[in-house]
Amino acid sequence: MNNLYWNKETQANLQARIDEVIDFTLADKRLAGAVVKVSIGGELVYNRAAGFADRENNRPMHEDALFRLASVSKPIVSTAALVLVSQGRLQLDDRVDRWLPEFRPRLQNGESAALTIRHLLTHTAGLTYRFFQEEKGSYELAGVSDGMDLADITLDENLRRLASVPLLYEPGTQWKYSIATDVLGAVIEKVAKAPLGDAVRSLVTGPLGMSDTGFTAVDPERLAVAYADDPAEPRRLRDFDTIPFVEGTAGFRLAPVRAMDATAYPSGGAGMVGSAGDFLKLLETLRKGGEPLMKETVVREMTTNQIGDLPMAFWPGRGFGLGFILLKDPAAAATPESPGTWRMGGTYGHSWFVDPSKELSVVAFTNTALEGMSGKFTTDLTDAVYAGIRGK
């Protein structure tokens, strides 16, 4: 641990500040429950479960609660792909159609596109999500699933539908958050010659002892109930539900029951279930250099901005590595995080970040979409962590 800024007084200050944010957010009825873990220098310095895993049945949140990960699936599946890169079984500049010969979406003008593994990992592939489009947009008309509903199709069928829709732009020329990690999951299946769940287990979760993490809940009794942010208080999500995103877009179609449906196709970008403790293991493994999963050189590339100065909607001052967002300019991003910090979140209510310069990893899993991902709780928690570290 970095003793230049850490002592017992600082730890007490950090704990008090995070407690204050959690307690206030729960009292303000913006979250149903949360599990927050903070590691500094490889030591767990904050670990708390608060609120309810199931409010209606008075079931408290526990530290080992399982959550629907939504986009927190992406860094796990991206890591699996990079393990294959580290092993020499996959190359970042391989064309996608080398591994998926049938996946050949065309440009708007009908011309073919050169789509690579790097494009998928950096979200510069020309793809989008249905929830970003307007109602009756091209993905909805093609029947494309975002990976969070309960579509009765296979991964191959979803990719067939996706490939039938023209790309939004030529790969590599823009950045748009997208379903690209689902395509990456299909590539992993081909390279590993195994279903995606088995491949991720052998490449990532097994070696790290992430026994809580998979494409279905390993213990349904520990699965937190899913809620949605609502003006009065979080409302319990129905088995098949919709929640709005940005005005003019179709919004999210969510099927919380998917977390217990082994027949649902494995969505690499949105379909995993896991615990905060498991995910912290992955973050700390990457922060420390990647062993035993991959070479440090691959981790360095993963955590280096890959998209230059391409603008990122909703994320000023940031770039993108191979699987997650990277901070370039703290002032532009209006954040106390250090340059080079990695961060992302998930629709069902999660946020996380790693500040390598401070040996800091933070995981905040909640059961309240979207507040826990991008609401005031996320910024308040980040501010509390940095104020606590500074000892002020």
Kindly list the catalytic residues: 71
Q: Which residue from 356, 330, 200, 327 is spatially nearest to 269, judged by alpha carbons? A: 200
Which two tokens mark 365? 């899993």
For residue 242, give the H/E element and its range.
Answer: strand 241-243
Which two tokens mark 62? 């526990």
Neighbour tally for 86: CB within 10 Å: 19
- What phi and psi values does residue 385 have, to the nearest 5 degrees? -60, -45
307, 326 Cβ separation under 8 angstroms: no
3-state secondary structure of 318: strand
295, 86 Cβ separation under 8 angstroms: yes
Amino acid at 209: G
Q: Does the bond joining 292 to the residue before it have cis omega, within 30 degrees of 0?
A: yes
195 dihedral zone (left: phi>0; alpha: psi -120 to 50; beta): beta
Please tell me what DSSP assigns to residue 116: B
Quote the CA–CA distance of 354 and 363 in Å, as a whole number. 9
CA–chain centroid gap for 249, Å, is 21
224 to each of 47, 61, 219, 315, how far by Cα in Å? 17, 8, 11, 29
Quote the CA–CA distance of 391 and 388 in Å, as a whole number. 5
For residue 180, give the H/E element and its range.
Answer: helix 180-192
22, 46 Cβ separation under 8 angstroms: no
Cβ neighbours for 30, distance < 8 A, ≥ 6 positions apart: 229, 234, 368, 371, 375, 376, 377
Quote the CA–CA distance of 258 and 69 in Å, as a whole number. 12
